[in-house]
Structure 1
Amino acid sequence: MKTRLSVAAATLIALIASVVVLVQPAYAAVGLHVSGGRLVEANGTALVLRGVNHAHTWYTGQTSSFADIKSLGANSVRVVLSNGHRWTRNDANDVRNVISLCKVNRLICVLEVHDTTGYGEEAAAATLASATDYWISLTSVLRGEENYVIINIGNEPFGNSGYQNWASHTSSAIQRLRGAGFEHAIMIDAPNWGQDWTFTMRDNAQSVWNTDPARNLIFSIHMYGVFDTAAEISDYLGRFRSANLPIVVGEFGHNHSDGNPDEDSILSYTQQHGIGWLGWSWSGNGGGVEYLDLVSNFNVSSLTSWGQRLFNGTNGIRQTAREATIFSGTTPTTAPPTTAPPTTAPPTTAPPTTAPPTTAPPTTAPPAGACSATYTIVGQWQGGFQGDVRVTAGSAALRGWRVSWTLASGQSVSQAWNATVSRSGSQVTATNVSYNGNVAAGQSATFGFIGSWSGTNPVPSLTCTAL
């Protein structure tokens, strides 16, 4: 009888255990994910981020920047967004368009909420909880984009006060996102204005990692004046490597108000050890850090000395970037080159590193008519190209607009965003969509498209009509 009871009890325990196992959440490798301490694609191919930051939320009209960044060889872009706490909220339609621009330009999209910058020390900053609310509100936009999008919960989420709460606030945000069904790779920034001079992220990384049921986190350190020697850089990044925890340099520069980072060591160490990075930043810096612009006035043909270093220098983007394999077989926008990588180091206190622009970007005088349109080829390859059209209101606001042009022999339009595009013979007509038809006097809206060509690819004359 005792033996029978033991067998029955063992059977019951096994049955209960199997039920417990069945009700545990399953997190299969979906899209971009971490394996063996490295970021990999769904097919298991390692992906080393080699890209730049783009201040989209302050310059939403600069949509051609995505093609420009790609044309210089980048495989990824970290996009500045706002949840509306501190700057104008980037709504679902805008975020959907950003993801589309990343995909059409074959860039992995790292999306971040910038409003959290310096929380605890910066009075206007938002909490990680509010950033998490924002991501959850975008569930319908982000779901299904796991192959293309990394969610960077919040930029530099603590300053030099209150950073002791970094681990608990970060873990809570991660668990809320997983509870809402997000399976994306999640990037988390360090405190201390991103530079972790207190080693708060470094020393709590394992415990935070353990709170993610998907084990799909990427830690991000920002390297400015705190990291001004090769020893500091190799020590900080090396500790994550030794712990088999994924780390990227989410921001860095060649100079800063808090010191002179060792960008050469950042680049050489990261290349040697397959660590990703995203340089700060494409264009539009203000607040005294204008020297961090990689190009002047968003002009891809006007690289600054920092831009020359990051794109064309030793271990820079042109030498080291490899395009994500998810884009294989899709239409390219310009072929990126290929080859090698970067390094930097820790402590001291640091002021904010990513100040938004203090003045609006320059604009041209508004046209006199109801509206006008300009057409730019922002990227071209054999047989294909990407076009960008800017619609500008005249002396009165627009409630809607329509742009038309005639295709040359051999040209066609196959895909568009920010406009509804139709074709009748050689005539192309583009009409505003719901969210960009209202244009204030003298202001502009943009739309883009992918086209093909043979023979020649001339720029046509456009007709703009107010609706």
Structure 2
Amino acid sequence: MNALPLYVSILFFCVFTSCKKKDETKPDKDVTTGLHVKDGQYLADKCGNKIVLHGVNMGSVYAVNFGLKELEEIEKTGANTVRIILTQNYQDWQNGGKLTIVTGAKIEPIITSCLAKGMIPVLELHDFTGTTNVTNDLPKAIQWWTKPDVKSVLLKYQQSIIVNIANEPDNGAASDVTYRDANLTAIKNLRDAGYTCPIMIDAPYYGKDYVFFLYQGKALIDADPLHNLLFSVHAYWPTNGAFENYSDVKIRDNFKALKQSGLPIVLGELAAADIQNGLAYNINYRLLMKLCQENQFGYLAWWWGFYNNPDANNQLSMTNDGLYSGLQGAGFVIAYDDVNSISHTSKRACK
């Protein structure tokens, strides 16, 4: 039998080997080598252990030295995570409050400090809180995350961090479709930029509208080529608020619906009160903590408090001097003095 012509042989080789069409449904990266969302349902560490986030929010951009002292104190709670509040610019209190750009070099010590203490850094951008135009402003957040100096640092640690695209980037003005599409574009742009870490998305309407995830959560996960998303609800659900009331029955129903969704849910902000028009309206935070534990949802308390910048403290600060020994009231309860507190429930990721 005569041999096939050379060009025919090459054609067959291409068709059956290197010229095969790429399967676009398969991720390009193996995210299981670091923090990852398993089966679109829960966060897991690189060892495959389920990680339920229990920690606090910490205002790095309002703290002296970006809160490195505060991180030492937060570690004493046993927290397995800290949500780090960032802005594109900050007032450098070590240099007279000069307005200064937040750079990757400024962020890196926070990341390394958290990781050295066994706490997962959740990095969030705070500039677009309560925006009236998420379609316009979420791309600005992505521009910041993909700045060369910021991106180069974060990609070094992305097996161990979570990126929270933007804090509460909607004041209730966006429709579900608008909010979904803005986040779909943001997810795609972050993945195209090389981010493979878990991406956290806040609910619309200042993070409170958990129902959005019930209807749009699966579409967001399916659209992410890595299926590596976390959904954050900010549970400012006061018992008798100025605008809304949340009975214990209503809160239980909310949790039931979230649990039945099977989605990877975390309460990205849990507080003792909702501040409305300058007044504090009490939240049944103990019930929130209990239901988080029963449903294996994580929670991050709002917020820690400041050591060298006490003027930044307010009525929701867990400690007014930034020290573990200064924990007071609800802050003490959330951090330590409850069966569902951080100290009693937090388990850290494997190293």
Shorter-chain TM range is: 0.7 to 0.9
Structure 1: 5+ residue runs without aligned partners? 1-10, 327-467
Distance 1:88 1:250, change over 3 A: farther
Residue aligned with 2:156, SS? coil
**Residue in 2 that maps onto 1:311:** 335
- The question of 1:128 aligning with 2:135 is answered no
Q: 1:239 to 1:18 in 2, by over 3 A?
A: farther
Residue by residue, what CA displacement relative to the aligned partner does 1:167-211 show, whole Å, maximum 9, x if unpaired? 1111110000011111100000011111117x3343211212221
Percentage of identical aligned residues: 28
Query: Aligned residue for 1:106?
Result: 118
Closer, same or farther: CA 223–287 of 1 in aligned 2, 3 Å: farther
CA RMSD of aligned residues (A): 3.0
For residue 290 of structure 1, give the secondary structure of its aligned residue in structure 2: coil
SS in structure 1 opposite 2:326?
A: coil
Aligned length: 313
Deviation at residue 322 of structure 1 after TM alignment:
0.8
Q: Cα 1:278–1:135, aligned 2, differ >3 Å: closer, same or farther?
A: same
Partner of 1:277: 299
Matched, 1:38 2:62: no
Q: Distance in 1 between matches of 2:267 and 2:236?
A: 10
Q: 2 CA distance for matches of 1:85 and 1:193?
A: 22
Unaligned runs of 5+ in 2: 1-11, 92-98, 238-243
Please tell me whether the aligned partners of residues 82 and 88 of structure 1 are also in contact (alpha carbons under 8 angstroms): no
Find the counterpart in structure 2 of residue 428 from structure 1. none
Structure 1 position 302, deviation (Å): 1.0
> Residues 213, 286 of structure 1: CA spacing in aligned structure 2 closer, same or farther, 3 A cutoff?
farther
CA distance, structure 2, for counterparts of residue 277 and residue 264 of structure 1: 12
Distance 1:302 1:180, change over 3 A: same
The one of the two structures with greater contact order (alpha-carbon pairs below 8 A, sep at least 6) is 2
1:282 touches 1:295 (CA, 8 Å); kept in 2? yes
Contact 1:228 1:260 in 2 (8 A): no
**1:237 and 1:247 in contact (8 A); partners too:** no
Q: Which has the higher Rg, Structure 1 or Structure 2? A: 1
Match of 2:74 in 1: 69
- SS at 2:315's partner residue? helix
The alignment status of 1:184 with 2:159, answered yes or no, reads no
TM alignment of 1:414-425, pairs within 5 A: none
Q: Deviations over 1:231-266 (max 9, x none)?
A: 333333333332321000000111123443221221
Give the residue type in structure 1 aligned to 2:295.
Answer: H
Give the drift of 1:318. 1.2
Partner of 1:167: 180
Q: Tell me the CA shift for residue 142 of structure 1.
A: 1.1
| AA of the residue aligned to 2:141 | A
The whole-number CA distance in structure 2 between the counterparts of 1:286 and 1:96 is 24
Preserved contact between residue 62 and residue 90 of structure 2 (Cα < 8 Å): no
Residue 80 of structure 1 pairs with residue 85 of structure 2: yes
Question: Counterpart amino acid of 2:290?
Answer: S
Residue 152 of structure 1 corresponds to 164
Please list the CA deviations of residues 131-174 of structure 1 after superposition, one character each: whole Å capped at 9, or x if unmatched: 11111122210113133210000000101223542111111100
- CA spacing shift, 1:254–1:104, aligned 2, 3 Å: same
More displaced, 136-145 or 45-54? 136-145
In structure 2, what is the equivalent of residue 51 of structure 1?
A: 55
Residues of 1 paired with 2:81 and 2:160: CA distance? Answer: 10
Contact kept, 8 Å, 1:52 with 1:76, in 2: the verdict is yes
Do 2:268 and 2:299's aligned partners in 1 also have CA atoms closer than 8 Å?
yes
Distance 2:18 2:253 in 1: 43
Q: Distance in 2 between matches of 1:232 and 1:100?
A: 40
Measured in 2, the distance between the counterparts of 1:253 and 1:147 equals 29
Which structure's residues are more often helix, by fraction?
2
**Where has structure 1 moved over 4 Å in runs of 4 or more?**
14-18, 22-25, 85-88, 284-289
Contact 2:61–2:90 (CA under 8 A) maintained in structure 1? no
Paired with 2:102 and 2:320, the residues of 1 have a C-alpha distance of: 25
Larger deviation, residues 79-88 vs 184-193: 79-88
TM-score normalised to the size of structure 1?
Answer: 0.62
Secondary structure, counterpart of 2:303 in structure 1: coil
> In structure 2, what is the Cα distance between the partners aligned to 1:104 and 1:95?
15
Q: Which residue of 2 aligns with 1:254?
A: 272
Tell me the amino acid that sits aligned with residue 37 of structure 2: V
Select 1:209's aligned residue among 209, 212, 221: 221
Q: Which residue of 2 aligns with 1:323?
A: 348
Task: Tell whether the 8 Å contact from 1:57 to 1:88 is kept in structure 2 after alignment.
Answer: no
Counterparts of 2:57 and 2:80, CA distance in 1? 12
1:288–1:163 CA distance, 2 compared to 1 (3 A): farther
> What is the CA-CA distance between 1:22 and the residue it aligns to?
5.5
Say whether the 8 Å CA contact 2:53–2:346 is kept in structure 1. Answer: yes
Letter in 2 for 1:53: N
Say if 1:81 and 1:288 are closer, same or farther in 2 by CA, change over 3 A. closer
What amino acid maps onto 1:291 in structure 2? Q
Partner of 1:26: 28
